[in-house]
């Protein structure tokens, strides 16, 4: 890279990170995406053997890979449904737009970053875009970014599909080895999956655990989460990160607790405290199922089935008045847009595990 000083290189890196953040800020669903791609790309590059400076260049290209989306209308980028042919063709232009934006910056162009941005949607089998390059004809940095981009995208929530878990995303990339992705890069991803998992988890907002998983989807602006597995302190932080990273600023959050088990008291308390100090109003957070009583802080709502006696609170809980009916009511269709028909709602307790065992039968 033709950079006169280390100070100039640092400035370019900082500038590139800022541009990546600016693009991500256009869409709440892609928040932190460019940072994730940059970090994954650097790990893959270093593991493949290039020198540290080359890995840093690929890292910068990761920050900038989607800069061309600045030229795509927000109405297309934020569309919930399937894109029309014309809209898809517009999206496919973003690598060329990005390369054109960056080319006037000589130090970026001389480093080959423009070519990495231009070709990061090429496929190893030649079926990608914009030029249909195949195999070794695709710049190495672009092949690395293609894997990192797909991993970050698949583990991120989108308005048109739920997020995959880390392991599901890695399996999909392995399945596409030799067709969409460079087999050597896929091999390195598989070998260093634990390090990459930890890197993504440290960035936040995603479920990286093998024993604890979170299924998520968006419906009518509301976030629906279905956590599964043991609920301990780490699980609590993963669920909190998922809520804070994916929740629409005006939508509601529905958390299905029916697949949680081994609820650790520390994990429950950690989650309650985390939500208490969050900026999301408690009245916008709903826990489906009686296990919600274990993790719901004061002000949140717990939904239990109005058709099943087993899922109803007995009213015998300590410091609980929901059995009197004064703090509960049957949800109506117009209340929550069909999200909770057939449930009754109770206020969560203030940081106490007052609903458990025999008291909720």
What number of other Cβ atoms are within 10 A of residue 66's Cβ? 24
Given the residues 26, 53, 69, 164, the one annotated as active site: 69
What number of other Cβ atoms are within 10 A of residue 205's Cβ? 21
For residue 218, how far is the Cα from the chain centroid? 12
d(CA 71, CA 97): 7
d(CA 98, CA 100): 5
Give the pairing type, strands 328-330 and 301-305. Answer: unpaired
Residue 287: strand pairing partners: 255, 302
d(CA 189, CA 173): 9
d(CA 69, CA 299): 40
In Å, how far are 175, 256, 334, 338, 341 from 330, measured between CA atoms?
Answer: 47, 18, 12, 13, 8
- The answer to whether 252 is a known catalytic residue is no
Catalytic residues: 69
């Amino acid at each position: 890279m033709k950079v006169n000083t280390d100070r100039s290189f640092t400035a370019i890196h900082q500038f590139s990170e800022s541009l990546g953040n600016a693009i991500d800020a256009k869409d709440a669903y892609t928040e932190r995406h460019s940072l994730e791609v940059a970090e994954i790309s650097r790990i893959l590059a270093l593991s493949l053997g290039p020198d540290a400076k080359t890995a840093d260049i690929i890292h910068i290209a990761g920050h900038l890979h989607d800069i061309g989306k600045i030229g795509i209308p927000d109405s297309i980028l934020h569309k919930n449904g399937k894109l029309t042919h014309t809209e898809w063709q517009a999206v496919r232009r973003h690598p060329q737009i990005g390369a054109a934006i960056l080319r006037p910056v000589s130090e970026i162009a001389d480093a080959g970053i423009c070519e990495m941005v231009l070709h990061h949607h090429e496929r190893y089998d030649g079926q990608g875009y914009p030029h249909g390059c195949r195999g070794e004809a695709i710049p190495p940095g672009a092949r690395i970014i293609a894997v990192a981009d797909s991993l970050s995208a698949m583990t991120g929530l989108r308005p048109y599909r739920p997020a995959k878990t880390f392991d599901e995303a890695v399996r999909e990339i392995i399945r596409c080895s030799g067709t969409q992705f460079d087999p050597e890069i896929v091999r390195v991803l598989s070998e260093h999956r634990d390090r990459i998992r930890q890197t993504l988890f440290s960035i936040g907002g995603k479920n990286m655990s093998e024993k604890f998983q979170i299924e998520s989807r968006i419906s009518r602006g509301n976030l629906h989460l279905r956590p599964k597995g043991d609920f301990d302190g780490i699980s609590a932080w993963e669920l909190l990160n998922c809520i804070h990273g994916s929740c629409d600023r005006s939508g509601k959050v529905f958390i299905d607790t029916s697949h949680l088990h081994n609820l650790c008291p520390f994990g429950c308390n950690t989650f309650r405290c985390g939500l208490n100090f969050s900026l999301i109003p408690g009245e916008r957070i709903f826990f489906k199922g009686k296990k919600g009583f274990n993790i719901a802080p004061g002000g949140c709502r717990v939904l239990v089935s109005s058709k099943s006696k087993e899922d109803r609170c007995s009213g015998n809980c300590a410091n609980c008045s929901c059995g009197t009916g004064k703090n509960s009511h049957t949800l109506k269709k117009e209340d929550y847009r069909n999200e909770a028909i057939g449930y009754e709602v109770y206020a969560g307790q203030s940081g106490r595990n007052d609903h458990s065992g025999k008291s909720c039968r």
